[in-house]
C-alpha cells in the first residue's frame, strides 16, 4: 500500500512538473521556467513526504481489540454455596508495534440503557479493571477475566440478566507506544444461551479505535 502511494504521488508530481514547464516556457524564458519547475518539484516532494509521514503515523502502531472467538464462560465451584463465573476477554494486538501499559475496563449495562464512551450504568456496578498488562507484542494476545461471585446479589443479578440476553458490555482498552496514547472502545450485547454455545457477543454502537 505504501509503495502504491509513492508511485501515484510520483506520477502526479511528474505530470504537474511537465505541465508547469510547458506553461512557464510560454510565459517566461526557458531558464526561468526550469528554475521555477525545480522549485515546484521540491515543494511537491515535500508535501508528498509529509503525507507519507502522516500515513506511517496512522498505520505503523499497535492496534488492540477484544476477540471472543472460541471462548466460553467457565463456571467454577470452589465449595458449596460459593459458585463463581469467569467471563474471559481475549485482548489481541494486530498492529505492527508493541503496546505498553494496557488498561482494560469492563462495564455492563441493561439492554435499555444508553451507552456512551465513558458513562456508567444505573443498574450494575461501576467499571471493573482487568489487571494492567505491561506489554503486548504484535500478533500476541492475553486473556483477562471478569469474575462474578454468585453469592453476591449484584453479581447474581448480572449473571441472570446475561443468561436472559438483556445485558450490554462495553470494553475500554487504553494503551501507549513511543509516547503516544491509544484507545479502543467496543460495545456488544452479551448472552449465554447454553453451556454448549458459551457466551455470544453481538457488536453494537459505540465502537471506536483511536
Separation of alpha carbons 14 and 8, rounded Å: 10
Q: How confident is the model at residue 93 (pLDDT cuts 50, 70, 90)?
A: very high
Element containing residue 122 per DSSP (H, E): none
**What are 127-130's contacts with CB under 8 Å, separation 24+?**
127/172, 129/103, 129/104, 129/105, 130/89, 130/104, 130/105, 130/106
Rounded to whole angstroms, what are the CA distances from 62 to 50, 55, 89? 21, 14, 18
Query: Of the ranges 54-58, 67-71, 85-89, which one carries the lowest mean pLDDT score?
Result: 54-58
pLDDT in tens, 34-57: 555 566 666 655 565 555 555 555
Confidence band (pLDDT; 50, 70, 90) for 131?
A: confident
Whether 64 and 184 have beta carbons less than 8 Å apart is answered as yes
CB-based contact 89:144 (threshold 8 Å): yes
Residue 65 confidence (pLDDT):
93
Distance CA 160, CA 166 (A): 9
What pTM value is reported for the model? 0.70
Least trusted range by pLDDT, from 41-50, 58-67, 91-100, 175-184: 41-50
Amino acid at each position: 500500500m505504501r509503495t502504491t502511494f509513492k508511485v501515484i504521488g510520483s506520477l502526479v508530481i511528474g505530470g504537474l512538473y511537465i505541465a508547469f514547464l510547458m506553461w512557464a516556457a510560454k510565459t517566461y524564458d526557458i531558464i526561468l521556467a526550469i528554475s521555477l519547475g525545480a522549485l515546484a518539484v521540491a515543494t511537491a516532494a515535500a508535501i508528498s513526504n509529509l503525507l507519507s509521514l502522516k500515513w506511517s503515523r496512522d498505520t505503523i502502531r499497535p492496534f488492540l481489540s477484544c476477540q471472543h472467538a472460541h471462548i466460553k464462560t467457565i463456571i467454577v465451584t470452589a465449595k458449596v454455596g460459593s459458585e463463581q463465573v469467569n467471563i474471559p476477554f481475549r485482548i489481541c494486538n494486530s498492529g505492527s508495534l508493541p503496546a505498553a501499559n494496557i488498561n482494560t475496563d469492563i462495564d455492563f449495562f441493561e439492554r435499555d440503557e444508553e451507552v456512551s464512551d465513558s458513562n456508567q450504568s444505573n443498574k450494575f456496578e461501576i467499571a471493573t479493571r482487568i489487571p494492567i498488562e505491561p506489554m503486548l507484542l504484535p500478533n500476541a494476545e492475553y486473556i483477562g477475566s471478569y469474575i462474578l461471585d454468585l453469592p453476591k446479589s449484584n453479581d447474581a443479578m448480572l449473571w441472570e440478566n446475561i443468561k436472559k440476553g438483556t445485558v450490554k458490555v462495553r470494553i475500554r482498552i487504553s494503551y501507549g507506544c513511543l509516547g503516544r496514547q491509544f484507545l479502543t472502545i467496543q460495545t456488544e450485547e452479551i448472552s449465554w444461551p447454553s453451556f454448549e454455545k458459551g457466551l455470544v457477543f453481538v457488536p453494537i454502537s459505540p465502537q471506536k479505535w483511536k
